[in-house]
Amino acid sequence: MALSLSQLNAAPLEEATQWLAGLYEHSPWIARGALAERPFTSLAQLKHAMVRVLAGAGIEPQLALIRAHPELAGKAMVDQSLTAESANEQSKAGLTHCTPAEFETIQQLNRDYNARFGWPFILAVRGPRGTGLPKAEIIATFARRLQGHPDFERQECLRNIHRIAEIRLNDLFDITPTQGNRVWDWQEALAQHTDPGYAELGQLTVTYLTDAHRACAAQISADMRAAGCDTVHIDAVGNVVGCYQRDSALRISDEGYSPIFHKTLLTGSHYDTVRNGGKYDGRLGIYVPLACVQQLSQAGKRLPFDLEIVAFAEEEGQRYKATFLGSSALTGDFEPAWLDQVDANGTTMRAALQHAGLCVDDIPGLKRNASDYRGFVEVHIEQGPVLNALDIPLGVVTSINASARYVGEVTGMASHAGTTPMDSRRDAACAVAELVLAVESRAAQDADSVGTVGQLQVPNGSVNVVPGHCQFSLDLRAPSNAQRDRLAADVVQAAHTICERRGVQLNLTDTMRASAAPSDAAWQARWEAAVQALGVPLHRMPSGAGHDAMKLHTILPQAMLFVRGQNSGISHNPLESTTSDDMQLAVDAFAHLLNQLATPASD
Ligand SMILES: [Zn+2]
């Protein structure tokens, strides 16, 4: 018999603790501590209460919990002394059917891991979809995490323990994240299309207007139609546009419905990827709203407004220098000059568009009339470590950061590394090294600014020559233009001061400046209400990465919702991952937002 939340809320503490005793290996105290916070309105709320109990317990109880777990495919599995929950998980991941070679590899990893960290390796082997990770992936993850820092690895074990508990809780309550699974499966299917050269390596790369890119557009069109969109088309830049039309029986004059309720809600994200990228970057923001359309369509429900989902054709700037091609077309910022840009093979964008059967003359006509729309919302995987570290599944974006980029070159004096005394050098690399540390400390002074020197070169440097030249890049970001400008002014000042003191020449060129896109207050508040209605803790955060919403910001009020990424939120990388449970929460939050917009009192 599956448990229900109302039963759990009503039961005496010890009985309720007993029910949840299997969630955390031999550690019923975690559930007991969380149950003190009853009643719970959702499983997400209960899960986070347990996260907080463990986080507040301190390192020793955390380590004891980690050590209470069996080794993967270890002695306990072989002599069948696992808990019922562990036995189920290890068998679902196929660990009970290892080849002798796999078994020996895992045993060696177990020994190495234990020697390094002093506790067993913990991995939620049922994985992000709950159905079991392939053994090869388990072994690869094991080997990778063996290289981690002990503090990080302890936290990563605890995060995996919470994921294990989440899956066990779903089993206990007989809950399936049906729509989250669907969103997960849609993205898995879409990831089958990848550019030539990458397909062979099992890597995901979908750049603008390649065959794989066009196959993605066809796939997304089919998914949109099957999910219930009334109209679907591919526009002149390759965006896939699906519309779920409003309730045509509702009239503007109907009670409580002002004209604004009939304005279209625009949403979406991009389907192109970086080279060897992840499956969720961009695509999550297409399929989460599509799951809502499917739910509405299956229930025979209509909204009082059109819901327009745009799968943007290009955001990442991989094939051509220009970026945000898809969303620029909607805001009227698509530059005709971009059509003459060439890719690495010398193919112009114009030729690529024509080859794809798209009509470049129709691009200006894609510009949206802002007065037809109520706003733009975008769901996106976080692409950073913040939510993962906090163990919070969703984040509400306050602003897309402003940024400034520079390229710099310092010229000192090349001289003999053996004969030039330390006090008579003009070392260009030392000056830049000092600048790198100045950037680090100045950016850290603001809680939410970031500064990076990602490229650093001594051109034609030699092992026995004091560097005469050093080239570097500088990337600065902050949630507002003013904060970015203060940061940039201080860093530029520091660069000049350092170079003057060292007697070297600085040449700094401003290469890019992008304005912040602060979330619209009313739209941000809608996401916040949606997140809180799910019982998920509210976490507000700026977006350090650029997104299509940044473009739409120029014509419409916008706000974004972030979904936690696994593996420290790594993105632009095949390790990018998020669970179907978190995807389900994103679908639920989106559905809540739609409901708010459909309710006359909300505006
Ligand atoms: Zn993206």
pLDDT in tens, 11-20: 999 999 999 9
State the distance from the centre of ligand 1 to the C-alpha of 454, rounded, in angstroms: 20
The CA distance from 509 to 265, in Å, is 41
State the distance from the centre of ligand 1 to the C-alpha of 559, rounded, in angstroms: 15
The CA distance from 470 to 455, in Å, is 10
State the distance from the centre of ligand 1 to the C-alpha of 321, rounded, in angstroms: 16
State the distance from the centre of ligand 1 to the C-alpha of 395, rounded, in angstroms: 16
State the distance from the centre of ligand 1 to the C-alpha of 509, rounded, in angstroms: 27
State the distance from the centre of ligand 1 to the C-alpha of 138, rounded, in angstroms: 27
The CA distance from 360 to 236, in Å, is 6
State the distance from the centre of ligand 1 to the C-alpha of 546, rounded, in angstroms: 8
The CA distance from 28 to 135, in Å, is 30
Indicate whether 602 pLDDT > 50.
no
pLDDT at 601: 61
The environment of the single-atom ion ligand 1, i.e. residues with CB closer than 5 A, is: 281-282
pLDDT digits (tens, 9 = 90+) for 501-511: 999 999 999 98
- Could you give the C-alpha distances from 497 to 115, 403, 428, 493, in angstroms and in order? 48, 23, 14, 6
Q: Average pLDDT for residues 34-53, to the nearest whole number?
A: 97
Indicate whether 73 pLDDT > 50.
yes
Of the two residues 470 and 72, the one the predictor is more confident about is 470
- Could you give the C-alpha distances from 231 to 245, 377, 477, in angstroms and in order? 8, 20, 39
pLDDT digits (tens, 9 = 90+) for 240-293: 999 999 988 776 656 666 777 789 999 999 999 999 999 999 999 999 999 999
Asked whether 292 and 335 are in contact (CB, 8 A), the reply is no
pLDDT digits (tens, 9 = 90+) for 94-114: 888 888 898 899 999 999 999
Indicate whether 603 pLDDT > 60.
no
Q: Average pLDDT for residues 82-87, to the nearest whole number?
A: 85
Indicate whether 456 pLDDT > 80.
yes
State the distance from the centre of ligand 1 to the C-alpha of 283, rounded, in angstroms: 8
Distance of CA 198 to the CA centre of its chain: 22
Asked whether 397 and 581 are in contact (CB, 8 A), the reply is no
State the distance from the centre of ligand 1 to the C-alpha of 502, rounded, in angstroms: 41
Q: Average pLDDT for residues 84-91, to the nearest whole number?
A: 85
State the distance from the centre of ligand 1 to the C-alpha of 284, rounded, in angstroms: 9
Indicate whether 478 pLDDT > 90.
yes
What is the rounded average pLDDT for all residues in the chain?
Answer: 95
pLDDT at 360: 96
State the distance from the centre of ligand 1 to the C-alpha of 377, rounded, in angstroms: 14
State the distance from the centre of ligand 1 to the C-alpha of 270, rounded, in angstroms: 6
State the distance from the centre of ligand 1 to the C-alpha of 199, rounded, in angstroms: 21
State the distance from the centre of ligand 1 to the C-alpha of 273, rounded, in angstroms: 8
Q: Average pLDDT for residues 218-226, to the nearest whole number?
A: 98
Phi-psi region at 378: left, alpha or beta (left = phi > 0; alpha = psi -120 to 50)? beta
